[in-house]
Structure 1
Amino acid sequence: MLQAARHTAIVDAVQRERVVRVSDLAQALGVSAMTVRRDIESLEDAGLVERIHGGAKLPGDARTHEPGFELKSTQRTDEKHAIAVEAASLVREDMAVGLSAGTTTYALAKELVGGPRITVVTNSVRIADVFQAGSSMGPGRMGSTVILIGGERTPSDALVGPIATGALKQLHLDILFLGVHGMDAKAGFTTPNMLEAETDRAFIGAARSVVVLADHSKWGTVGIASIAALEDADELITDAKLGEEARRVLSEGVGKLRIAAAD
């Protein structure tokens, strides 16, 4: 394959997947890993991709840019559904369950609304609305209690800041399902919003067990603010498209790595 064609294919893959591995690109393009690394270097010089350890990602503003809920909710819906189904299997009757804001936790809320009676604590108006809408849809959905904490609203529809943090410090949760913007071997779990990072840390402090929900595209993405180290997660649920190197790193970092099976 000619260099120009390879460059186009690499940029297309990065724009589609957000993070791509050198080994996967080399196999797909039928060239050596060294050739792919040289191509990535050229593309980085042109500002089209950003090199990361073992691969490449979208350049620029991932550390501070926070996509809106509507955009994120249309991305990787199959993966998020699979993760949500796996996460829902961890919830039992009468649990106090924390759901941080995000589109993957939103998918989980839709799985839980017809399930066991629980108490839900969330900083997402959208997640609270899911349970409210489900409250009139059958006897199995009548018993769940929803506590919506207040705060300043972010572009991703999280309620954050001192009001949210103060409320969470008074609560005790059996389990927290935490959505994140990115995950990285060194940076851990991150977000582009510093107030959201503080609120998520309060969520973690309130929970007996912390389960991070993150699809494969979050690997290699680093937001400006750290939420927690990999080892602070008791479990991480992701999808089957996560690469082998990422699986190895995460298996060594988090308490337990779960790979959600596709439908």
Structure 2
Amino acid sequence: MSDLPRHQAIVELLEEKTFVSVNELASVMGVSSATARRDIEKLSDAGLGQKVHGGIAANAVPMQRRAVNLPFIENRDIAVENKRAIAQAAASLVRDGSSIIIHAGSTCFHFGTQIASRNIRVFTNSTPLAGYLSENGTCQLTVGGGDVHREPGILYDPAGKGYDFFADQFFVGALGISSQGLLESHPLLVRLCDDMSRQANETIVLVDSRKFAERPPTVALPLTRVHRLITDDGLTDADAKVLEDHGVDYVVVEARESKGK
């Protein structure tokens, strides 16, 4: 397929999905990842899409359509290097011998891989992370009970009567971040986020900078209950000021995926 028909096909795909990752674009169009990235550059320059970390987004996407949870297997492959850098920074905050809670989501998953062999106790409701840690880790692992919710990939019992454990730190991601706090669209993630934050001394948010532009409908946790946030250097001055105004300490890591492209 030549460039023009392929570009038209990508634009039509964006009308259906609003976001397409580099890996998915390469697979669907039958091209290399390098060609997919060049296509994204050309479409972005032509105003036919928005180049974002890990792929391309449609222009003028309504908030309700943009703020949706992608399947974990897709989200895991977006902005991977940024998420790994965030995860490494988060791992440096974990003390040996401590107990931590790790929430669901792709950035938290990458964080979990960083601490898999540490001398710590990990509690998680994330089915992908629990599977990884059970096969590849040596840390003490406790998995939340309840029904399996394949999307968003958690074990959860909405009728549960609380938890009998307490942790030093709670590591959590979010679908969006605003002055209101951590934003989500899935009701179970909202409940689980609130539940877990009450079981830990410190709540640490792991999000790449794209999340500050998203506006999901529900506040899962206000910024007043967030102690620290780790993101990449795509963070704008305006968003940094929001964090500062709410007393949230934040760490900015280098956006590795922006280098050499």
Q: TM-score range by the shorter chain?
A: 0.7 to 0.9
Q: Partners in 2 of 1:253 and 1:9 — Cα distance? A: 39
**Map of 1:138-217 to 2, 5 A cutoff?**
141=138, 144-152=139-147, 153-162=149-158, 166-167=161-162, 169-185=163-179, 187-217=180-210
Q: Partners in 2 of 1:254 and 1:75 — Cα distance? A: 29
Q: Is the 8 A contact 1:69 1:102 kept in 2?
A: yes
CA positional deviation for 1:17? 5.3
Q: Partners in 2 of 1:262 and 1:238 — Cα distance? A: 9
Q: Is the 8 A contact 1:160 1:196 kept in 2?
A: no
CA positional deviation for 1:132? 1.5
When residues 243 and 177 of structure 1 are mapped into structure 2, their CA distance, relative to the original with a 3 A threshold, is same
When residues 179 and 7 of structure 1 are mapped into structure 2, their CA distance, relative to the original with a 3 A threshold, is closer
Q: Is the 8 A contact 1:190 1:222 kept in 2?
A: yes
Q: Is the 8 A contact 2:171 2:203 kept in 1?
A: yes
When residues 17 and 174 of structure 1 are mapped into structure 2, their CA distance, relative to the original with a 3 A threshold, is same
- Alignment partner of 1:219 is 2:212: yes
Structure 2 gaps, min length 5: 1-41, 257-261
Aligned residue identity for 2:203: V
The counterpart of 2:65, out of the listed 57, 61, 65, is 61
Between the aligned residues of both structures, percent identity stands at 21
Q: Partners in 1 of 2:157 and 2:133 — Cα distance? A: 24
Describe the SS at the equivalent of 2:100: strand
CA positional deviation for 1:11? 5.0
Aligned residue identity for 1:120: V
Structure 1 gaps, min length 5: 19-46, 51-57, 136-140
Q: Which runs of 4+ in 1 moved over 6 A?
A: 5-8
When residues 17 and 60 of structure 1 are mapped into structure 2, their CA distance, relative to the original with a 3 A threshold, is farther
Aligned residue identity for 2:72: F
Q: Is the 8 A contact 2:108 2:206 kept in 1?
A: yes
The counterpart of 1:73, out of the listed 72, 76, 80, is 76
CA positional deviation for 1:60? 3.4
Q: Partners in 2 of 1:9 and 1:244 — Cα distance? A: 27
Describe the SS at the equivalent of 1:150: coil
CA positional deviation for 1:261? 3.2
Q: Partners in 1 of 2:215 and 2:240 — Cα distance? A: 17
Describe the SS at the equivalent of 2:167: coil
The counterpart of 1:126, out of the listed 118, 125, 128, is 128
Name the structure 2 match of 1:232.
Answer: 225
CA positional deviation for 1:118? 0.6
Count matched residues: 211
CA positional deviation for 1:8? 6.7
Name the structure 1 match of 2:20.
Answer: none
What TM-score do the two structures reach when normalised by structure 2?
0.73
> C-alpha offsets along residues 161-220 of structure 1, whole Å, 9 cap, x if unaligned?
425x545x32211000011111012x3101111121011100000010000001001002
> C-alpha offsets along residues 65-113 of structure 1, whole Å, 9 cap, x if unaligned?
3210011001000110010000000111111110001100100011101
Q: Is the 8 A contact 1:102 1:158 kept in 2?
A: no
Q: Partners in 2 of 1:245 and 1:7 — Cα distance? A: 24
**Map of 1:22-61 to 2, 5 A cutoff?**
48-49=59-60, 59-61=63-65
